[in-house]
Structure 1
Amino acid sequence: MTTLHLEHASHAHIHGPACGHTQVPHGDHVDYAHDGHLHREHGGHWDECEPDGHAPHEGHDHRHGEGCGHESVLHGDHVDYLHDGHRHAPHDGHWDDH
């Protein structure tokens, strides 16, 4: 899974541990949930951090939802759930691994 390089134009807010936005571990960096999308610092600016391609989370029997015990992150038109250091998103009857 790779990330696309989509710079978030005119993003003046600086994310960090105390900025108030949910931190989402993502491989070798941390994304920040902000305004329904995820940002990551890259080369002095902030990128939109999106997965490339479709990566189903195989063997994931847990059903995420309100009260499931995992933190939810609004992400565009759906909700992702933080689980075991990655994000799960519902897709076509299974969970994708972002």
Structure 2
Amino acid sequence: MTTLHLEHPTHEHTHGPDCGHTAVPHGDHVDYAHDGHLHREHSGHWDECEPSGHTAHGEHGHRHGEGCGHPAVAHGDHVDYLHDGHRHAEHDGHWDDH
């Protein structure tokens, strides 16, 4: 899965451990959920951190939802759930891996 490099041009808020937004571990960096999308710091600016393509998460027996024990993160028109260091989103009867 690749990530688009889309700079967020007017991001005045500085994210960090105490900023009030959900931190989402993502490979070698941390994304922050903010206003329904994800930001990451990159080379002195903030990027929109969104996956491209579609990656189904195979063999996912756990059903996410209210009270499942995993943090819910608003993401565009749906909700992702943080699980094992990545985000899962329900899609067409399976879970996508973001």
Normalising by structure 2, we get a TM-score of 0.97
Structure 2 equivalent of residue 95 of structure 1: 95
- What is the identity percentage for the equivalent residue pairs of Structure 1 and Structure 2? 83
Structure 1 equivalent of residue 58 of structure 2: 58
Structure 1 unmatched ranges of 5 or more = none
Structure 1 equivalent of residue 14 of structure 2: 14
Could you report, residue by residue, the CA deviation over 1:33-72 in whole angstroms, capped at 9, with x for unpaired residues?
A: 0001000001111011001111111100111000111100
Map 1:14-93; keep pairs closer than 5 Å.
Answer: 14-93=14-93
Paired positions, count:
98
Query: d(CA) in 2 for partners of 1:53 and 1:65?
Result: 24
Query: d(CA) in 2 for partners of 1:28 and 1:57?
Result: 20
Structure 2 unmatched ranges of 5 or more = none
Displacement over 4 Å in runs of 4+: none
Q: Secondary structure at the match of 2:87?
A: strand
What is the Cα-based RMSD across aligned positions, in Å? Answer: 0.6
